[in-house]
Amino acid sequence: MRVLLTGDRGILGRPTRAALERDGHAVVGFDLAAGDDIRDAAAVRAAAAGCDAIVHLAGIPGDREEIPDQVMAVNVSGTWNVLLAAAAEGVRRVVHASSGKALGMLERNPRYLPIDDAHPGLPGRPYGLSKWLSEEMCEAVTRAQGIETICLRPVFVVEPPQWKEFALIPELGPARGAAWHLGVFVDARDVADAFSLAVSCEAPESGHARLLLCGDDVASDRSAVALVEEHLPDVPWRDGGPPPAGSRAALADCSEARDVLGWTPRHRWDGRGGY
């Protein structure tokens, strides 16, 4: 399969290219570092010509206080250009890099735990809002054009070199000046695997899916229940109640990604990513 990969030289782009090529796909790169601008609709369409799928990673990766307008412009208009190019060039599927922040993570406490893909999307900051709006555009294009769209929602992404640093600490500390991060993380290599699986998996029943990606355990040597009791004592557990005493099960539910993609994260906090 011929796949256009936007942002192919970035933190997620490099391992995603490797995963796609490992799985037998021919990759067409499109990256600002190579002079490609995701805001240039004509350039995106030209790159998409002859492609079977687009994996869209290009964008500004996080909130930048000095350029909130650019975060919105690049991330939202860039996704729109990708969707327009897919429609114009007959591309069957678009896999979009969204974020757990599309659910308002790090902005406010969740309504329940574990958080899942059905959790209301209530972002207010530019980055999370740009990802939520992009998801909405993907679903709208699926309904109107029939293009399959899969939005992957990785949480805090850990690159392999960071594991050496994390091996020295028992717990990923709370984010400064924001709501607790739920102790969630996911290895960049696992995210790359998910993107490759999303290119060739069976189409979602509706043609559109939004899928959280998270490691299987909390980023702590303490139990999930102990962490919640400290940080979010008033947030209710979903049906079934809390995990068993002592369990370090993740506080983000990735069962949809497992069902749709057949994805299982390989890297765990208790193994410090394999180091």
Q: What is the pLDDT of residues 240-274, one digit of tens each?
A: 899 999 999 999 999 999 999 999 999 999 888 87
Cα pseudo-dihedral 182, 120, 6, 18, rounded to 10? 40
CA distance 138 to 98: 11
pLDDT at 175: 73
pLDDT at 99: 97
Mean pLDDT of the chain: 95
pLDDT at 178: 58
Lowest mean per-residue pLDDT among 51-55, 83-87, 168-172, 187-191: 168-172
pLDDT at 177: 53
CATH fold group of domain 2-274: Rossmann fold (3.40.50)
- Nearest-5° angle of CA 151, CA 155, CA 161? 120
Are 151 and 138 spatial neighbours (Cβ–Cβ below 8 Å)?
A: yes
pLDDT per residue as tens digits for the range 187-243: 999 999 999 999 999 999 999 999 999 999 999 999 999 999 999 999 999 988 999
CA distance 195 to 56: 10
Neighbour tally for 131: CB within 10 Å: 26
Read off the pTM: 0.96
Average pLDDT (149-164) is: 96
Give the H or E element holding residue 136.
helix 126-145
Model confidence at 36: pLDDT above 60: yes
Residues 6+ apart with CB under 8 A from 216: 249, 250, 265, 268
Residues 6+ apart with CB under 8 A from 202: none
Band of the pLDDT at 154, cuts 50, 70, 90? very high
